[in-house]
Structure 1
């Protein structure tokens, strides 16, 4: 599992809220690896569709993440870009996928 996948998972889970994502990392929130991988796969599949309309996701672990932004406090863990411009939250329609019942999670 990549750090990028975990950041995308937490960003979708907490709707881009920096403090919630930070708290989850700081407290070493427990997570299901399959859920993290599912979130990352879901985001990548959605991005493949959205790429035609100039959407992108860049995490603090990616080379494309702006250096100047890394030094800001608090630096966003995940950037959602549309036409090269940063949007504050995950794209409309890009939400955390519901956990699969086979992973022991209940659907909301």
Structure 2
């Protein structure tokens, strides 16, 4: 089974290979650990937006009506939570929105 991660250093995405080489992250029996406070590690949801772009936790998605959502992990389940004018939207499991392996009607904007 393949698990993808997005690694961000000071707001810029870097590869896992570079993060390990520069000792920003380490791999242990427990998983991937960041060794620098400037590093953030985000796990893939295993799903793709309707443009076939992989969705990671913390991504910002937008629907066809302009509503924005943040991808969050709640108790091991990837959910979307409304932000901005849409902040009262209750978290909703992403896997409930999927069509095959793509999330219907949502696009990554950030």
Name the TM-score, length of structure 1 as normaliser: 0.29
Q: Which has the larger radius of gyration?
A: 2
Name the TM-score, length of structure 2 as normaliser: 0.29
Bigger relative CO (Cα 8 Å, ≥ 6 apart):
1
Name the structure where helix makes up a greater proportion of residues. Answer: 1
